[in-house]
Structure 1
Amino acid sequence: MLTVFTLLMLLIIKEGSGNSDRSVTFENPNPCALKGKSVEFRCSYSYREGETVRKTTWYRGKLNGTIWTRVALSDFPSYESRSEYLGDWQHNCSLAIHDLQVNDTGYYYFRFDTDTYGFRSKKSVYLSVTELNVRVCPERVRVGENVTLECKTSCHQLSNTAWFKDGRPISKTMFRAQAEDSGNYVCAIRGRESEQSDSVALDVQYGPLNMSIEVSKLGHLSNSTSVNLTCRATANPAAINYTWYKTTGSSSSSMVHVGSGQVLSLTSVVRPGLYLCQARNSVGENNLTQTVLIADHKDINHFILVGIVVKIILALLLTLIIIWIGRRTCYSAEDKKEQEDDYENTSI
């Protein structure tokens, strides 16, 4: 019994001393790479002198239910065209994986087989595949507030980045927001601008701007003519409240409320007026005035009467001028005849 036990211990010691001559070393056990790029697992292995390597294999860890297993990369169709063994059958076991995808994140192992023994790495390479993450802080601001753009990954601090807004390059990553800064932002590593992050939107809110008032009819209007005044404004969020005021006297500061809504309908106004539109949203408000000239029937009749009188006066003046010119012509002919008669008498 003691002899059998002694033999077993000798076999275990021999096996352990044999494994000490075999090893796998990973130079970068925790690489982190960007999606779409390539990564290299730098790896070396050693074995007993006199052995000959017959096979090398890379594995990926996979959880089947509650059991952790190692599956050869050759058994994954997705790695067939993307994995490249850079090593040899001597001491280099490096591996490259191209066109990285987020689901490539995980544990990787190496195994080599000699003509007498098979050895697999006890440690692993843990690969992290990350994407460029863009952040606009905050994503919703009001005009004049500060905005900061951030571009980072889960495993790298990026400093040399390029930024684009709606496809156009921008230089500032910190600024005070203006209305025109609203849009979609992406980042990229400088030198690889074609590989951009997903976009994130910046929403700059502002009160009513670029206001205008449209008048459905222009000129002097009678009190029986309907007129629509339409108030327009650019705002974010859109203006939801429109209020109309009208002057009550000569001073524009004397205003009375005359209506609400984007369109003000005027149907029986008898005086010229200065109308003010006030547009408002959740950010602020803005005002714009518009003069509308309106005349009542009395004013129109007065204008017509004055026109008739002017026409009559002009006609009378024209008649008098014609008569005066005619008489001047007659007087000139008679004077000429008298002069000719006097000349004849003098000759006799």
Structure 2
Amino acid sequence: MPGAVRKILHIDMDAFFASVEQRDDPSLRGRPVAVGHAAARGVVAAASYEARAFGVKSALPSVTALRRCPDLVFVPPRFEVYRAVSRQIHAIFADYTDLIQPLSLDEAYLDVTADRRALGTAWATAREIRARILAETGLTASAGVSYNKFLAKLASDHRKPDGQFAVTPDMGAAWVETLPVARFHGIGPVTAAKMKRLGIETGADLRAASLAFLQQHFGSSADWYFQIARGEDDRPVNPDRVRKSSGSETTFDRDLTAEAEIEAGVLRMAEDVWTWCDRAGSYGRTATVKVKYADFRQITRSRSFPAPIATRGELHAASLALIRTVLPTDAGVRLVGVTVSNFAPIEEALPLFGAAA
């Protein structure tokens, strides 16, 4: 009915890549694990919670990670395995709703307003989904439960790992006021630092700022900041559908200049994009890499091929070739993105790089 309160879940797997490796190799359990390579130019793709306790995290150079944690165990990534587990998890989601919006291999929004399995509450639905993920994959997930996507995503991080947290309509706005703006999805480190210079450090500070003030300092993003400071977010959960492109981008925790770190970020975005393309059966002829620098200057590099990019390896190779056209760089990189567009039937696909899927 119009105006009805939606019930939104954000399900986020706990240290997904590293947890899969610990599951499949019992000798790794309880030990600090990094998915990646220990080579001189290697970069951490993902880290277990044991490794995170030492300050090891994704995009960190491997040599730095080893200095922080000398006992760190590196394991090479197995993206095909991670994708297979992700498909298992999304099959579980499909038992509860058709309104599923994947964000990456390890997280998704679900609209469970309809309560397909008659569990009574979104809280009970999240709990059952997490229990099934554990039973069927041996992995833990955390969940955020709320009435919109912004709050659900914030909530899923509140009881990690292996927990869930609900933000109800009567507490949403007040809860947001207690949080640092640096935790808000969509506010990266550069924006958070700018807000701090303007005296905005918490949700309460952001709410106290007028829309005119936010428009003066943040332009087109002002309306979004004004809304989330009040716990408002009207975006629907959008399931996969026919579209003209598939893209993914990430804002780094800090501005990057190291080539290996920038390339690792691009590869992670390419992996997210490939996951969608493979699941949707949509393959594009054009690959685009986007770069945003610390000064917010933005560039893109694209290449179109005679046939669709038909394997993960081809997309990785195309993305790396494009990012390397702007490397090396002395300018800090704050964001990278990868997009595939110009979709065509898969039967037209031919190997482009000779790389395996």
TM-score bin (small chain): under 0.3
What TM-score, normalized to structure 1? 0.19
Q: Which has the higher contact order (CA 8 A, sep 6+)?
A: 2
Going by fraction, where is strand more abundant, 1 or 2? 1
Going by fraction, where is helix more abundant, 1 or 2? 2
Determine which structure has more spread, i.e. the larger CA radius of gyration.
1
